[in-house]
A = this chain, B = another copy of it.
Amino acid sequence: MEKVTLTLAEAYTLARQVLRGNGFSEAHACVLARNVTDGERDGCPSHGLWRLLGIVNTLRKGKVSPDAEPTITDHAPAIVKADAGGGFSLLAFERALPLLIEKARHNGIAALAINRCVHFSALFADVEPLTQAGLVGLATTPSHAWVAPAGGSAPLFGTNPIAFGWPRGDKSPFIFDMATSAAARGEIQLHQRAGKALPEGWGIDSKGNPTTDAQAVLNGAMLTFGGYKGSALAAMVELLAGPLIGDMTSMESLAWDDGAGGLPYGGELVLALDPARFLGTDAVAHLARAETLFAAMQRQGARLPGERRYQARQHAGEYGITITRSLYEEIAALDCKVPGA
């Protein structure tokens, strides 16, 4: 398959140009372009440049605002609210971040509730900046109702990711970002396109029976990871980043989409905790306990989450990123001034 290699700057410029050309404001285009370039750079093509297709599709379907200016509110001593106004989550996050950090440092812990946002991006991007500020971060968001609860047989939960980040000073942070579904929806779609059977345990058909047929799962329901425990966590995500912050559950998001095939719409909850505020002058000694834990993990051959990502990041900084020519051409073809043309 023919490939195209781009420097990170070229990839960013392409993405930004396509987004601007489709009507996104400069502020949204920049933060979106950076996000998809970072995903590609970090070896996560599922959150990389191909996301531009879905972003533009969502815009053309009228399911996202191209230029909403987020409204940031100092809602309570330890709560920041960010109303994304129907735009993508990323700009709202970026604009709310300084106040979230300030509140976490002052209070020890603080929460950011992003509302009315369209969501496509990996939560990794929303906890990494917290770790860079020396904070512990936790982020979660519902999606569309695609996943059956344990003991049930029909879609109800979203893929409901949970991301967690731990700061490590000069070292790359400890960050995981995982769906509470057994697999990402994109992985099931890739199996379906390739005509490949799914691994056991990823989903059920529309009658609730286990199946390895990708199309049957897309018509039926995905399953959570880890059985009833993963299902409990998926429910927790619905509650924390839905009703708690006054926003939609995954089934409400899918109903709102009304068959348009757009991206999930609703809320995101981000928590920030400040080790320095918890620990005071003992922070250095206690953070060293974490390093001892990480070293013990690595000594027995367990990877730290994020390791592969940081390796890919370093490689991409030196050698650029490579995508298929057909994806490159699909992206370039998005660059028109007339949506839907």
Q: Which of A129-181 contact B (CB under 8 A)?
A: 136, 148-154, 156, 164, 166, 174, 176, 178
Measured between beta carbons, the chain B residues less than 8 angstroms from A235 are: 174, 176, 293, 297, 305
**Contact assessment for B292 and A108 in the assembled complex, using a CB-CB cutoff below 8 Å:** no
B244 touches A300 (CB 8 A): no
Which of A76, A152, A174, A229 has the most chain B CB within a 10 Å cutoff? Answer: A229
Is A213 close to B, CB under 8 A? no
Q: How far is the CA of A279 from the CA of B79 in the complex (A)?
A: 11
Q: In whole Å, how far is A300's beta carbon from the nearest beta carbon of chain B?
A: 4
Binary per-residue interface labels of chain A (274-308) against chain B in the complex, 1 for a CB within 8 Å, 0 otherwise: 01011100100011011011001100111101000
The copy count of this chain in the complex is 2
The answer to whether B300 touches A152 (Cβ under 8 A) is: yes
Give the interface of A toward B (CB within 8 A): 75-79, 106-111, 113, 136, 148-154, 156, 164, 166, 174, 176, 178, 225-227, 229-232, 235-236, 238-240, 242-246, 248-249, 251-252, 271, 273, 275, 277-279, 282, 286-287, 289-290, 292-293, 296-297, 300-303, 305
| A164 and B232 within 8 A (CB) | yes
Please state if A300 and B238 are interface contacts (CB–CB under 8 Å).
Answer: no
Q: Is the CB of B251 within 8 A of A293?
A: yes
Closest chain B CB from A68 CB (angstroms): 21
CA distance A174 to B60 in the complex (A): 40
A294 to chain B, nearest CB (A): 9
Contacts of A296 in B (CB 8 A): 156, 251
> How far apart are the CA atoms of A248 and B111 in the complex, in Å?
26
Given A150-B302, A153-B300, A229-B226, A242-B111 contact (CB < 8 Å): no
Q: Which of A156, A244, A290 has the most CB of B within 10 A?
A: A244
Q: Residue on B with the closest CB to A81?
A: B278
Chain B residues with Cβ below 8 Å from A111 are 108-109, 273, 278
B113 touches A278 (CB 8 A): yes
Residue of B nearest to A80 (CB): B108
